[in-house]
Amino acid sequence: MTEILANNGNNLHQLKADCENCFALCCVALPYAQSADFAKSKDGGIPCFHLQSDYSCKIHQNLRTSGFKGCTVYECYGAGQKVSQQTFHGVSWRNSPDMAEEVFRVFPIMQQLHEMLYYLQEALNLQEASPLHGKLQRIYNKTEMLTDGSPASLLELDVPTHRIIVGNLLSEVSKIVRSKVKDRKNKKFKAMAANDLIGANLKGANLKGVSFKGAYLIAANLRDADLRVCDFLGADLRDTDLSGADLTGSLFLTQAQVNAARGDQLTKLPKSLSPPQHWLV
């Protein structure tokens, strides 16, 4: 077992990218398409034209202003260093072109497994979810065991089925935690949670304890909204305005989602997350 299991405390920080120990897998393995998030397109398996020989990014300091905002909102949850250093034993795709294709196929699978570990670890850190901690720990252990597999075993995994099992457990956690929220005045949002909320004006709304699981909140106005103990699992927060909003105690909110949103110095985030630079200027 890795350090993650040996220490079941608040250790979400261990499930995030360590680019120093990764051969820039996200910059090579993944495709991107010309859009508001990427100034140009490229196919998966092709190195980004901004990638340098030492695996660093030529425009790292200016990604947003250079039209590569999409790169600032991607998180591998530590999959990059795991694939680079453990699965492929520290051998780079550059030095071993024969294995490159396999590396690039394994990486997105590992990213999904590590993302699940991140959410499961967050759930394990929640006191209110203690009735489910046994189940959570078992599925965490199983997920981590899968990440330790060989390239061939990783490529054979039925990831969608595993995701459903993890997702159902996280939904149970969410229900337990949100059921403890008092003075919820937002019953209608229970039904709307998965609906399209693109561009919705929810300024100043009391949305405490709502599930936004999988919701499209793109460019929605959530200024000054009460978003305490909301579930944001998989919600799309691109350009969502969180200025002045209170997201204390929110569930399954990630740094990548926060980076994709807008906010300001008055936005309150869970302790494990930080305001991105573009909120502070």
User: Which spans of this chain sit near ligand SF4 (rule: CB under 6 A)?
Assistant: 27, 48, 50-51, 57, 59, 68, 71
Residue 180 Cβ vs ligand SF4, minimum distance, rounded to whole Å: 40
Nearer to ligand SF4, 28 or 215 (CB): 28
In terms of Cα–Cα distance, which of 60, 67, 16 is closest to 40?
67
Sequence-separated (6 or more) residues with CB below 8 Å from residue 146: 113, 153, 154, 157, 162
Q: Retrieve residue 186's tokens.
A: 């937002």
Least Å from the CB of residue 48 to ligand SF4 = 3
| Tokens of residue 266, six digits | 């008055």
* CB nearer to ligand SF4: pick between 26 and 210: 26
Least distance in angstroms from the C-beta of 50 to ligand SF4: 4
Q: Which is nearer to ligand SF4, 68 or 212 (CB)?
A: 68
Angle between helices 97-124 and 133-147 (to 10 degrees): 170
Backbone angle region of 208, left / alpha / beta, with phi > 0 → left and psi within -120 to 50 → alpha: beta
Query: Between 28 and 117, whose beta carbon lies closer to ligand SF4?
Result: 28
Contact 216, 260 (CB under 8 A): no
Which of 7, 277 has the CB closer to ligand SF4? 277
CB of 26 to ligand SF4, least distance (A): 7
Asked whether 100 and 45 are in contact (CB, 8 A), the reply is yes
Find the shortest distance in angstroms from Cβ 51 to ligand SF4.
4
